[in-house]
Amino acid sequence: MQNLIGEVKKMETMGNLLILFPASLCLFLFVALLNVFYKYWWIPHRKRNHFLSGKTYLSWNGVRALLLITDPDMVNEVLKNSEKAFRKPKASYFFDKLLGDGLGSTESEKWARLRKLAYYAFHGESLKVNHRHSADEMYERFMLLLFSCLLVTWNIYKLDTFLQNMIPAVVASVETMLEKWKSKEGKEIEVFQEFRLLTSEVISRTAFGSSYLEGEKIFDMLMKLTVIAGRNIYKAEIPIIRLLKKREAKVVTGEADNFGRDFLGLLVNAYHEADEKNRLSIQDLVDECKTFYFAGQETVNSLLTWATLLLAIHTDWQDKARAEVIEVFDNQNPDSEGMAKLKTISMVINETLRLYPPISGVIREVRLGTLVLPTHSEVDMRIIALHHDPDLWGDDVDLFKPERFADVIAEATKYNAATFMPFGLGPRSCVGMSFTIIQAKIALSMILQRYTINLSPSYVHAALQRLTLKLQHGIQLLFHSLCYDA
C-alpha cells in the first residue's frame, strides 16, 4: 500500500512538472514575443510624434495623448497661464509615492502657502547675487523682489542668517569633497557620484541644518524609495520625522529659543502654527522635505556633471574660467561679493543648461473649470527642443559656445523668455534657481582654483534621460593639481 501511495505521489510530481514546464515555456515565449512586438512594431508605428503644424506635434505614450509644443510663444502662453486654464497634471503613481503632495505637484491655496515658505527660504541671495535675466524674467524678478522686500521687513534677521549661513555651508561641503580628491590626484574620478554626495551634503546643511551623515542616510532612503516606487511594491519611510523631533526637543529643553531659521525651521514653525488654516500637517511636512531633498539634489548634480565634462573638453574655456576665478578670489574661498563678478563662469553655466537642461520638459493639462479637456491629454513643453532649435539659436546650435551669453540673457534669447528656460517659466518656475546658481558657481570656482580637468580615455558618451538628463556610464575625469596650494 505504502509503495502504491509513493508511486502515485511520484506520478503527481511528474504530472505537475509535465504541466509546469510547458506552461512556463509558453509564458516565456509569450513575454518574449510581446517584447519584440513592443520594440519593433508598437514603438515605431504607434509611439511616434505626428507633425501637426508649425512646431507642434502629437504623441501618444500608450496612456495619454501629448501635444508637444516647441514654439516659444505658445510655451510662454501656457506656462504664464494668465487664463488659469493649464494646471500641473495629477502626479503619476511613481511620483506620488516618491514625493507625495509637495510644492512641485500640489495646487491652489496649499501651493501658494508652500511656495511662499520655499521662496523665503531659497531666494534670499537674489538680493545680493547679480545673475542676469531676460526681460520677462526681470519683470518677474522685480515683482518677487518687491515681495522679498516685504518679507525682509517682516523679519530681517532670518534673511541675513540665510545669507550668512548659505555660502560658508556650500564652501564647507565643497571642501569636504576636495579633501577626498587629494588622495586620488591624477587618478580617474567618476564625478557623477562625487557630485551626488556633494549636492546631498549641500541641501542637508543649508536647508535642513543636519549633518552630512544624516543627509546621506536620508538620500540613501530616497534612492531606495525611487527604486521601490518604481517597482510599486513596498512603502518606505524616510527619517525626516527624526529631524523634526530633534528640532522640537531643542526648544522643549531650552537649548534653542526657536525651531531654526533654515527651510526645515520654517516648516516646523508652520507645523506648530496656531491658526489651523495655515498649519501644515505632518504629512505635508514630510512630503515637502522629500520634494526638496530630491529636487535640490538630482538636478544640481546633473548640471555640475555636464559643466565639468564641457570644461574638460573645451580647455580654452576652462583656462578662461580659471583666470577669472583667480582674478576674483585669488586663492581664497568664494564669498558673496565675488560671486556677482563671475561673468565667464555664469556664461559656462548658462551654455551648459542650454545644451543639457537637467529637466528636459514640463507638462500641463488643459482645464476649463472642472473639465479636463480632452480627457487623458496633456501639453508637453520640450525645453530641450527649444534649446536646440536652429531657428532660435542659429546653425551652430549644437556647439558649446558660452559667448552666446556674453550680454544679457534677453539678447541671447531675442527677448523671448521661453527660448531659454532650464528652470521653467511663469508662476510654477523653479524656486531653487538662485540656490542652484550659487552652488554651481562655488563648486566650479573651487575646483578650478585647485585642479586642471581632463577627460579620461575610458569615458564613453551616452546621455540618458532618467528623471534628469544623466550620463549612462557616469563621467570619468582626471584632475591634476595646480602648482600652488589654494
Q: How far is the CB of 191 from ligand HEM (least distance, A)?
A: 15
How many residues touch ligand HEM under the rule CB under 6 A: the total is 26
- Count the neighbouring beta carbons within 10 Å of the beta carbon of residue 223: 14
- Determine, following the binding rule CB under 6 A, whether residue 103 of this chain makes contact with ligand HEM: yes
- Determine, following the binding rule CB under 6 A, whether residue 100 of this chain makes contact with ligand HEM: no
Q: How far is the CB of 97 from ligand HEM (least distance, A)?
A: 18
Is 430 labeled as ligand-binding? yes
Of 107 and 160, CB closest to ligand HEM: 107
367 DSSP assignment? E
The correct pick among 303, 307, 471, 486 for binding ligand HEM (CB under 6 A) is 303
The rounded distance, in Å, linking the Cα atoms of 394 and 278 is 49
Instruction: Give the CA count within 13 Å in the CB-facing half-sphere of 214.
Output: 15
Tell me the per-residue interface mask from 118 to 137 with ligand HEM, x by CB under 6 A, - otherwise.
x---x---------------
- Contact at 8 Å (CB) between 120 and 294? no
Q: How far is the CB of 167 from ligand HEM (least distance, A)?
A: 15
Of 336 and 429, CB closest to ligand HEM: 429
For residue 350 the three cell numbers come to 548658462
Which residues in the 411-440 window bind ligand HEM by CB under 6 A?
422-424, 428-432, 435-436
The rounded distance, in Å, linking the Cα atoms of 47 and 171 is 46
Point out which span in 295-303, 308-316, 458-466, 477-485 binds ligand HEM (CB under 6 A).
295-303
Q: How far is the CB of 342 from ligand HEM (least distance, A)?
A: 17
Which residues in the 359-378 window bind ligand HEM by CB under 6 A?
359, 362
Of 412 and 421, CB closest to ligand HEM: 421
- Burial code (b: 16+ CB inside 10 Å, e: under 16) for 291-309 equals bbbbbbbbbbbbbbbbbbb
- Determine, following the binding rule CB under 6 A, whether residue 310 of this chain makes contact with ligand HEM: no
The rounded distance, in Å, linking the Cα atoms of 118 and 296 is 12
- Contact at 8 Å (CB) between 66 and 72? no
**Which is nearest to 46 in space by CA: 66, 62, 35?**
62
Phi, psi for residue 411 in degrees, rounded to 5: -70, -45
Bridge partners of 67, per DSSP, are 58, 379
Q: How far is the CB of 153 from ligand HEM (least distance, A)?
A: 24
For residue 432 the three cell numbers come to 531653487
Contact partners, residue 325, CB within 8 Å, separation at least 6: 342, 345, 444, 445, 448, 449
- Determine, following the binding rule CB under 6 A, whether residue 104 of this chain makes contact with ligand HEM: yes
Q: How far is the CB of 452 from ligand HEM (least distance, A)?
A: 25
- Determine, following the binding rule CB under 6 A, whether residue 486 of this chain makes contact with ligand HEM: no
Point out which span in 11-19, 154-162, 296-304, 334-342 binds ligand HEM (CB under 6 A).
296-304
- Determine, following the binding rule CB under 6 A, whether residue 295 of this chain makes contact with ligand HEM: yes
| CA separation, residue 349 to residues 111, 269, 340, 421 (Å) | 29, 35, 14, 13
For residue 104 the three cell numbers come to 512641485
* Binding residues for ligand HEM (CB under 6 A): 88, 103-104, 115, 118, 122, 291-292, 295-296, 299-300, 303, 358-359, 362, 422-424, 428-432, 435-436
